[in-house]
Amino acid sequence: MAKTAAKTADKTPSAQGGKETGPAGARPRLLLMDGHSLAYRAFFALPAENFTTASGQPTNAIYGFASMLANTLRDEAPTHLAVAFDVSRKTWRSTEFPEYKANRSKTPDEFKGQVELIGELLDAMHVDRFAIDGFEADDVIATLATRAEAAGFDVLIVTGDRDSFQLITEHVTVLYPTKGVSELTRFTPEKLAEKYGLTPQQYPDFAALRGDPSDNLPGIPGVGEKTAAKWINQFGSFAELVERVEEVKGKAGQNLRDHLDAVKLNRRLTEMVRDVELPKAPADLARAPYDRTAVAGVLDVLEIRNPSLRERLYAVDPGAAEEEAAAPAAGLELDGSKLGTGEVAPWLDAHGAQPLGVATVDTWALGTGSVTEIALAAADGAAAWFDPAQLDEADEKAVAAWFADAKRPKVLHNAKAALRVLPEHGWSLAGVTMDTALAAYLVKPGRRSFALDALSVEYLGRELAPAAAAEGQLAFGSEEDERAEADALMGQARTILDLGDAFTEKLKEVGAAELLHDVELPTSILLARLERHGIAADRAHLTAMEQQFAGAVQQAVTEAHGAAGREFNLGSPKQLQEILFGELALPKTKKTKTGYTTDADALAWLATQTEHELPVIMLRHREQAKLRVTVEGLIKTIAADGRIHTTFNQTVAATGRLSSTEPNLQNIPVRTDEGRAIRRGFVVGEGYDCLMTADYSQIELRVMAHLSEDEGLIEAFKSGEDLHTTVASQVFGVERSAVDPEMRRKIKAMSYGLAYGLSAFGLSQQLNIDAGEARGLMNTFFERFGGVQDYLQRAVEEARATGYTETMLGRRRYLPDLNSDNRQRREMAERMALNAPIQGTAADIVKVAMLNVDAALQKAGCTSRMLLQVHDEIVLEIARGEKEKVEEIVRREMAGAVELRAPLDVSVGVGENWESAAH
């Protein structure tokens, strides 16, 4: 049985030694769940592609099970709870009948490991779980249900196994899923009689006659459910039917007699065991408060960010009411003041010299925004809330001075948002000593949510009061509402301050304090300026591009209809499947739950396997549709100033790379004609001379050469010749002049693949060669560059020993799955262990380069400014007369960002638009 925390509820006599009653004599309610049955059902109800972590771990079964658990706990309000799991397919039933369940297909790889993770969530929720060798989950459930009813419980069983209907009584109800994981049908004795015309005691007799294909239990030829039910009702029981089997007339009767031994075996296997030896009795299964920090940790690791699920799980925590009634935690008593006009300046005079936590409610869209609320909190309990619109001249002056004073320490959560919007009020922000979102990212970069409420629970054991103005809109219905909103925001400010203290220690533990203060915080300040700057857009050009793509999409629709011989919805996978594999009889692709897949890889494969034009047309349609959506998104984000103001994300990629949203500039293809045409829509702004782009040549490979210390690879870079041609000549053993484009292509793909943890199979797929050739290519490469192979092996071994990888600047990536028993998760973690130090170091270098270039531009008094950072490329807007000076600064500062054994090489280009500035 799984490890569980001690229960806090008082225990009455156990189910094996007396009756138990609940409040005011009410019967206690025991909820029993068949973990495997429900998890498997959830797995097929929810698409895995929508529930997968960044590491590749599917979570659809976990999510569906947790959702069903939360809903059932909410609806049924049990006092006691347990979940039973199967251990393996080897049970007493398979011993007696080796073919038992032998017809079942292999467990999908995507399902493996999810039951173990469900167990981790249940442990965090302090839910007892049972898994008994030699028995199935339904035997455990039958035992607990029988004992619980005898002890005075009402019992609810949630399972997808109909054999459980034999357990139904006046006090035992089966909740049977009838629609995915969202609907449960209540089976009582009355419902069972209505559905099958049987009593619960007769159900296993009926099931034995009917057989069960899912368990590989054979039925009787020509005997269905109606005949089976009729016989049981006619003779009263299976035993009586066997005794009088000669009375059954007709062919069905003869078939029954011919298969009687098999049916008798079915009857033995169908009967649930009700006396399994268990370590706990029903009375020991009283629900207990969650370990909320552990629950949040499990959900974060699994990247289950849906707030609705978390809210539903927390809402049914037995400790929730107790927690709400408890006194405030130590240190949370706030002397909070809701400040009006003329009261802010005196408060800052009294409290502004000490470190303050800062919480704001603000809006930002299309390059402009405002702050609607500000809360400040100090460690001594002093706190203040004010509306910036209500400041008088003295308040305004005091707030501006405090924000701008670098000597006044400030702690924020996602400081970039404030850095971006405060200038709209004429305020500048300095003295940010801690950003709790960035700190959390450096401590646990693999998590996907850095929300303040989740961090508060995990690191402080404190839940935040909800803020009413979550969308930045003041919508107070009364003075009480406004006070509650102010109190909530002041509580957030104090939580941010306390989290700052907690993360100060955590950052020291993981060696990331310098990385925060020297790289990430300065980068957030720079990115806020970039977001305010934006980049000028040529609306007419982008509109023409959108119309071009729309026309191409419609043309592809027309061609697809002609190729198919009829009209159909190109966006419907079902209709496309019918045409490709039914009407056109093209080769079958990978089978999924919804049919044969028609994703891009499948269509590309079909294009190589057949001469039919439809797969090619479909690929073109999807490509043009995606480009159209991209351009439509760009047009929608052009602000009133004629510029596009993207938002940069520092905490999305675990490797440290930046990403962007609204719009996502990384969505724009780099190497296609269409992508280059779209980039021509990003132009130099009024008052400036041109755009300049600068990026590193082959930075990941240079980092790999540096980290591996392979002299051959380092020398290939130092030679100044084309790297891939030089390496190809050494790997294939030919002169550089004899290296053909195909040789160079293979070496380029393999070199970058090694930096990204690519396997021989992955390389074979990428190059469309067999796995043996790909493996031979990699082996030959390693023979020539042995230092690279030694480094890659060493990187995984060291990460497995320490639990993390590390970049040159000390950025860690924690990979607990390196020691997982789940092969899929372990291999994914191994690829990350190869990739993270290389990509992470490259990302760190780019950030350092950006900061150095920006500082040098300011020191030189340049008007030119940085606008974007996309795909390791920096885009600048160059003032008239500054091109040569800026290029010299960019080349010098980027090349000198760090010192590598394989020197950094910088490429620079200028032009009137992003595309023409390419190099």
Q: Which two tokens stand for residue 99?
A: 């073919």
Cβ atoms of residues 469 and 475 within 8 Å: yes
pLDDT for 17 beyond 50:
no
Please state, in angstroms and rounded to a whole number, the distance separating the CA atoms of residues 248 and 227.
11
One-letter amino acid at 522 equals: P
Beta bridge partners of 363: 370
Domain 26-197+273-296, classified CATH 3.40.50.1010, yes or no: yes
Please state, in angstroms and rounded to a whole number, the distance separating the CA atoms of residues 787 and 782.
8
Q: Where are the domains of the chain?
A: 26-197+273-296, 333-534
Q: Can you give the pLDDT at residue 196?
A: 83
Q: Can you give the pLDDT at residue 745?
A: 87
Most confident of the following: 10-24, 414-428, 799-813: 414-428
Pairing of strands 873-878, 865-870: antiparallel
- Secondary structure of residue 804 in the 3-state scheme: strand
Q: Is 370 exposed, middle or buried (0-12, 13-18, 19+ CB in 10 A)?
A: middle
Q: Can you give the pLDDT at residue 837?
A: 93
> Distance of alpha carbon 423 from its chain centroid, rounded?
34
Q: Can you give the pLDDT at residue 329?
A: 44
Q: Can you give the pLDDT at residue 440?
A: 95
Q: Can you give the pLDDT at residue 253?
A: 67
Q: What is the DSSP letter of 857?
A: H
- Secondary structure of residue 473 in the 3-state scheme: coil
Angle at 207 between CA 257 and CA 190, to 5 degrees: 130
pLDDT for 1 beyond 60:
no
Q: What is the DSSP letter of 581?
A: I
Please write the tens of the pLDDT for every residue from 812-859.
Answer: 998 887 877 667 778 888 888 988 999 999 999 999 999 999 999 999
Over range 71-75, report the average pLDDT. 90
One-letter amino acid at 821 equals: D
Cβ atoms of residues 704 and 717 within 8 Å: no
> Distance of alpha carbon 539 from its chain centroid, rounded?
35
Q: What is the DSSP letter of 198?
A: -
Q: C-alpha distances in angstroms, 465 versus 250, 293, 357, 625?
A: 73, 17, 16, 44
Please write the tens of the pLDDT for every residue from 287-325.
Answer: 999 988 888 888 887 878 777 788 889 889 988 755 443
Strand ranges (DSSP E) for 514-602?
Answer: 535-537, 591-592, 595-596
- Homologous superfamily in CATH for domain 333-534: Ribonuclease H-like superfamily/Ribonuclease H (3.30.420.10)
pLDDT for 102 beyond 60:
no
What's phi and psi for 512, nearest 5 deg? -115, 10
Please state, in angstroms and rounded to a whole number, the distance separating the CA atoms of residues 462 and 464.
7
Pairing of strands 382-386, 335-338: parallel
Cβ atoms of residues 196 and 203 within 8 Å: yes
Predicted confidence band at 592 (pLDDT cuts at 50, 70, 90)? confident
Predicted confidence band at 170 (pLDDT cuts at 50, 70, 90)? very high
Beta bridge partners of 690: 878
Q: Which two tokens stand for residue 221?
A: 């030829």
Most confident of the following: 178-187, 328-337, 872-881: 872-881
Q: C-alpha distances in angstroms, 504 versus 220, 376, 520?
A: 71, 20, 14
Q: Is 133 exposed, middle or buried (0-12, 13-18, 19+ CB in 10 A)?
A: exposed
- Secondary structure of residue 521 in the 3-state scheme: helix
Please write the tens of the pLDDT for every residue from 371-398.
Answer: 999 999 999 999 999 999 999 999 999 9
Predicted confidence band at 107 (pLDDT cuts at 50, 70, 90)? low
Q: Which two tokens stand for residue 149?
A: 């009813």
CA Rg value for the chain: 33
Please state, in angstroms and rounded to a whole number, the distance separating the CA atoms of residues 843 and 837.
10
Query: Matching CATH topology for 26-197+273-296 and 333-534?
Result: no
Residue in 444, 890, 434 with CA at minimum distance from that of residue 693 = 890
Q: Can you give the pLDDT at residue 719?
A: 86
Q: Which two tokens stand for residue 152?
A: 């005075």
* H-state helical runs in 225-306: 225-235, 238-243, 250-258, 260-270, 292-301
Q: Can you give the pLDDT at residue 774?
A: 85
> Distance of alpha carbon 634 from its chain centroid, rounded?
26
Cis peptide before 663 (omega within 30 of 0): yes
Q: What is the DSSP string of 114-130?
A: HHHHHHHHHHHTT-EEE
Q: Which two tokens stand for residue 490?
A: 């002041």
Cβ atoms of residues 909 and 919 within 8 Å: yes
Please state, in angstroms and rounded to a whole number, the distance separating the CA atoms of residues 750 and 520.
32
Percentage of the residues of the chain whose pLDDT score is greater than 90: 52
Please state, in angstroms and rounded to a whole number, the distance separating the CA atoms of residues 83 and 32.
6
Q: Can you give the pLDDT at residue 16?
A: 36
Q: Which two tokens stand for residue 647?
A: 């938002």
What average pLDDT does the structure give for the chain? 86
Cβ atoms of residues 281 and 16 within 8 Å: yes
Please write the tens of the pLDDT for every residue from 173-209.
Answer: 999 987 655 678 899 999 988 888 888 888 777 766 6
Q: C-alpha distances in angstroms, 150 versus 78, 418, 423?
A: 17, 62, 71
Contacts 24+ apart (CB under 8 A), 547-550: 549/624, 549/625, 549/627, 549/628, 549/631, 549/674, 550/628
Q: What is the DSSP letter of 465?
A: P
Please state, in angstroms and rounded to a whole number, the distance separating the CA atoms of residues 755 and 835.
6
34: enclosing H helix or E strand: strand 29-34
